[in-house]
Structure 1
């Protein structure tokens, strides 16, 4: 008996699965929620059903493979993914899903193939880069893992940001800022690099570098979050005027609900800081 699911819980889950049997969105949500709760075997039929009815063949296949892994059926999970690749071709998520399964088999060559293909389809695949870096560190040590990441940074802003985060961890803020700037160069009109760099610098207590990088690099296409980080950094440093200037640049930028709430709070705090500073 699965110790993580009470008998009455299993009955309730089975009832909810039956109600969602023809609805791939609900079925997917139920399967993933059950897997997060430790129920693998109980939702395996639902995962198999999802693969049959999901219009997104890759998504259904990935959920089934995840359910099979939850049942410790690693070879079946690998076979499901490989058959999908042979039939439909592989995307970054499908190839990455093969990597831990190949590692479980002890095939380093297949791990490398899976990661290389995942990053060929998406050089900025966050899970493949993070898992691959840790895998290389376990196999060959930290220096080799950094070289592996550096090779991928030529085409990947995310790998470049990761190298910047490693530089921050060893206390080399100058190299980190240079790497973050390089990441922004790789994708100058995307929101990802500058936001990730600003978060990393702020988390490391490098408020001046955070604000400076954002002010130098930000354009409207970067979205609101880098500027929000910069305003916070300026407030922490007691630079009310710079915070007000950075906040003013948010005008005209499309904000999601979270950003609207955050910007409203920042506006009050910036006004208070400016008043206290006599600005």
Structure 2
């Protein structure tokens, strides 16, 4: 790690590692680890999804507020490039409304351009949803994933959007995905910096094997990532994406959260790991 100290890179975690856990348990996990930020997986098998009643949404908002948790994003599964139908846009608008109601900063989406022809559809959907996102004060956050896992491709796509749409769009940088596609952390950061909302970090088996592994046992160059962030004095949330939902052989998230500060020290700098004082 360089001598630069950045006190406000703040650690967070994704509930992908605690799928199905009630929100009070999520709050307990966060408090035990001294974290104040969370990505909430948004799906029918989770405590938060667009099918909740108004009373349930209010209860979610109260629980998050009482737990002092900042919600980086509702991690939904809209695919902007999916073949034309009404579902993707309708689901996105529902998730944006839900995000605003519970105080989330944005809604995570994927590109999902399976046949390479979907970017025009994605542009239309983003242009249609952008006014609502702007009105609600939330952003549509595209993850470096699937067809657009490379920063070069995702940044190139965002560069084709009109100015009003771009203001409603951000990027969640899954740092392992871009690295596995041959990009150095510094190169990815350079491409994504104008749009970057927050980082996701995890350790993976190798640059040719995306299998998540216990922190410190894989090959992801976390020190190189830390140096790249130091070089541009980047500040913001660093979110542990513990993929136990899809990799049940991984240790419980409690164990991962214990190891997270040490493994990610080069990325987190001197970020405080204790709860922030309540205003």
Larger Rg: 1
Of structures 1 and 2, the one with the larger relative CO (CA 8 A, separation 6+) is 2
In proportion to residue count, which structure has more strand? 2
TM-score, normalised with respect to structure 2: 0.31
TM-score, normalised with respect to structure 1: 0.31
In proportion to residue count, which structure has more helix? 1
